[in-house]
Chain A
Amino acid sequence: MFFRPYEVHIAFRWLVKGRAQSVLLFCGIAMGVAVQFFLSSLIGGLQLSLIERTIGSAPHVYVLPADSIPVSFLSGDSQAVDFRKVPPTESREILSWQPYLDYLKKIPDVKAVCPVASGQAFIERGGLSLTVTVKGILPEEGASIYNFERNLKSGKLDLVGDSTILGMTIAEKLQLSIGDRFFIRNSLGVGDFFTVGGMIDLGSVQANALVFMSLDRARSFLSLRGITSLEVKVEDVFESEALARKVEPEFSRVKLESWQARNAELLTALRSQSGSSAVIQFFVLFAISLGIASVLGIAAVQKSRQLGILKAMGVDNRGAARIFLVQGLSLGIGGSTLGIALGYAIGKVFLEFFGPGTFGLQLRVPNFILPAVLAIIGSAIASTIPARRASKLSPIEVIRNG
């Protein structure tokens, strides 16, 4: 055993008998851990909610046509034939997309892959013309990526024939209802009639300006020979960028783009938020540790006589020091346990009052394990100050001075 029985015996008795001090320290640590727990739960919840709103109902990785067209190695010589030159269509479309789809589907982390034909279009109604994005998808895969089940506000998830699913912004602006027919024109000016089958709310104005239709219908409407992208949804959203980078070398003539690359500003904001939260948490912990160091430091001075006589009776320097380490650790463990309970209670009350209408608190295990472990380590480190003092104390000095 790391601690000898007498060290624990004496440490606990001193803690129990110095009740007021111990209670104050306990409460200090508990409050610190509770604040840290609550803060990390709050920030964690806020971040998750932000991420969920941003990409919860959106693809995580896009497979897009490559922007650059390979240049001939015989460039400069007009006589040379550039046999590798990609037909212009391939800079806008992916023509042979089936192998990519098959490859992506086999990756374990991938939840859904959907070929998408998308393009700009204009809905015209009653003299109004609204710019929208048409997205042709496969019903099942698209529904999984865009969470149709959860986000459907009215109508049904039907993409057969002319039936479409509209984002709420379009429906509201153009006052369209289920079953209404509307005229939509593509960028080349060719138009056609479609029916409102369902309405969805994807959480942002941009996402709500989408018109979903079947892949085949969209391809003919947008005059596409292939598709414009493959949209991928993964299990762990934070692995998207890594997945994109891992898969990219396997593919040619396409590029992969993750949601992180598209939302760099959001990520920077989240990182800054995490950083500031870590700074606050560090200073809370630092303040607690200073408190423990100062209170136990005073206790070591107060207990000089007792330590002197204990040393005379055979307690060695390490034993004297470890009495204070036991105290620091006990305060840390006890205070952290109380702090977790307190933080959890505060979290529950917060959820009760501010409720699910706002955003969720992330009352997860790592959120309380980390502050608790840090508080325990902090307490142990803080207790080394009185421990060193106790270790250095000479029994003769105490006995001589009375």
Chain B
Amino acid sequence: MDEMIVLKNLTKSFGEVIKTEVLHDISVALQRGTMTAIVGPSGSGKTTLLNIISLLDSPSSGTLIIDGQDFSAGDIDRYAKYRNAHIGFIFQFHYLLPEFTALENILIPYWIQSGRPPVHVVQRALQLMKEIDILPIRDKYPHQISGGEQQRVAVARALVHEPKMVFADEPTGNLDRETGFAVLEVMTRMVRELGTTLILVTHDREIALRAERILELVDGRICKSFLVKEVGEEKTRQLLEDRSCLL
């Protein structure tokens, strides 16, 4: 398996006059087609890291290589173009466009990339909806459907253009446990079927356990980085409980 995302000595600071560094010297490589969970306490820099590797934000220093391309310099338009073509997003809040139906929301990334979607693209979206059990709500508006359904629509929207990577920030954080797991189930299944690289930020250990790799961030540094298969489930649980840093 080759590397999809490579970070070398990456840092991120905020503020103009008084600079606050929130990510310090991050170096990590994430494999193509795998699922990585980023865990850590609140304020540890999880979301900041996710924003940078998903090209929503640019690093302050260091190297950011995505799919062999260097994105270390913050070219906003290049970022936007790449995001549209190769990246899918699922957020804690669904962020569906309330003025568009479920199906239309799913097709928005295609609209942005290529204009009005042709029949075969609509068919693919409908097939995706069918696979994740949201076909009956295709013509409903976001306010007319449940939270679980909304998040499934967001999942379908993130996957419809078959992106190389999907980034999810607490995708189940706003759902009850049962619905959350159902959504997660759908998400991981789809990602595996399509061979997509999934990077997920979560507080939830049970969700993190489903990933192939777990990265733990504490105070803007990578504290632990391991493969779940290598250490085993039992050891993984212990590692997630443990507050000490291994790196």
Contact = CB atoms under 8 A, between A and B. Distances in A.
Interface of A: 4-6, 9-10, 13-14, 16-17, 305-306, 308-317, 319, 395-396, 399-400, 402
B105 to A, nearest CB: 10
A6 B115 contact: yes
B166 interface: no
B90 to A, nearest CB: 11
A5 B83 contact: no
B111 A6 contact: yes
Contact of B83 (A17, A305, A313): A313
A402 B94 CA distance: 10
B108 A395 contact: no
A396 B99 contact: no
Contact of A314 (B92, B93, B99, B109): B109
A314 B80 contact: yes
B121 to A, nearest CB: 13
B226 interface: no
B100 interface: yes
B104 to A, nearest CB: 8
B130 interface: no
B99 A17 contact: yes
Contacts of A309: 89, 91, 95, 97
Nearest to A395: B56
Interface of B: 47, 51, 56-57, 76-77, 80-81, 83-85, 87, 89, 91-93, 95, 97-100, 108-109, 111-113, 115-116, 169
Contact of A310 (B85, B108, B113, B115): B108
Contacts of A396: 51, 56-57
Residue in A310, A399, A402 whose Cβ sees the most chain B Cβ within 10 Å: A399
B91 to A, nearest CB: 6
Contacts of A317: 76-77, 80
Contacts of A17: 98-99
A165 B197 CA distance: 101
B97 A402 contact: no
Contacts of A308: 95
A17 B142 CA distance: 13
A15 to B, nearest CB: 10
Nearest to A18: B99
Contacts of A400: 47
A9 B115 CA distance: 9
